[in-house]
Amino acid sequence: MSDAGNETPDEALYRLDASDPHGRLVDRSGLRPEDIAQIDRLMKAMGRLSDVERRMGEEAQRYMRLNETDMRALYFLIVAANRGADVTPSMLSRHLGIASASTTKMLDRLEAAGHVTRHRHPTDRRSVAIRISPQTHETAMNTVGPLQARRYGAAAELTPREREIVIRFLDATAAALTGPAADAGTGGPGHTGP
């Protein structure tokens, strides 16, 4: 690693002293320099993972000529098909967090492209069931599926104790980013800013 003053912004992107040099956002009390260095490495690893996931998603979207919401809908439909579950438009709306009118437009587009089919719901005559087409299911399993499956390989290499630590960290990070402190803009625990 180069001297801090000679680092490019890319090299220093996840370093605490580069992103919060005056300690306005993160309380450093109780943290030794080696703790901060290790946390910096952890943040950098999370950034690398986020970048890889974003690139994978963009590549899959380009390959399948779909947007992010379309891809999330298809993944939901693949999981439902694998479990033998029927998916209604309202279920899809809730999962995606979009309005029913937007879901209808999306389904119209996906159906016209041959990615999904609509059928009479087997138990609710007032509703339709949405299914992923066999061709799209197979394409996704052969292109995006193997990339997604590699995550399991990395997780399988950890011990059960290590996996529990990672789970606890990821859950705590998600809670910190979505909890009331994040919504209020206070920065959460350890925050010392305005």
| pLDDT at residue 188, as a whole number | 45
Q: For residues 141 and 148, is the Cβ–Cβ distance under 8 A?
A: no
Burial of 116 (0-12, 13-18, 19+ CB in 10 A): buried
- What is the rounded (10 degree) CA torsion for 80, 134, 147, 107? -60
Domain with 45, as residue range(s), is 10-20+29-64
Residue 155 maps to a domain: no
Q: In order along the chain (194 residues), what is the average pLDDT of each group of 10 residues?
A: 62 86 90 94 92 85 85 94 94 96 96 95 90 93 83 93 97 90 49 42
Residue 131: phi and psi, rounded to 5, are -130, 145
How many CA atoms lie within 13 Å of 90's alpha carbon, on the beta-carbon side? 5
| pLDDT at residue 1, as a whole number | 44
Cα–Cα separations (whole angstroms), residue 72 to 33, 45, 76, 107: 41, 24, 6, 12
Residue 144 maps to a domain: no
- Number of compact structural domains in the chain: 2
| pLDDT at residue 144, as a whole number | 81
Instruction: Tell whether 98 and 129 lie within a shared domain.
Output: yes
pTM of the model: 0.71
Instruction: Tell whether 119 and 86 lie within a shared domain.
Output: yes
| pLDDT at residue 158, as a whole number | 96
Q: Name residue 159's amino acid.
A: T
> What is the C-alpha to C-alpha distance for residues 140 and 134, in angstroms, rounded to an integer?
10
| pLDDT at residue 182, as a whole number | 53
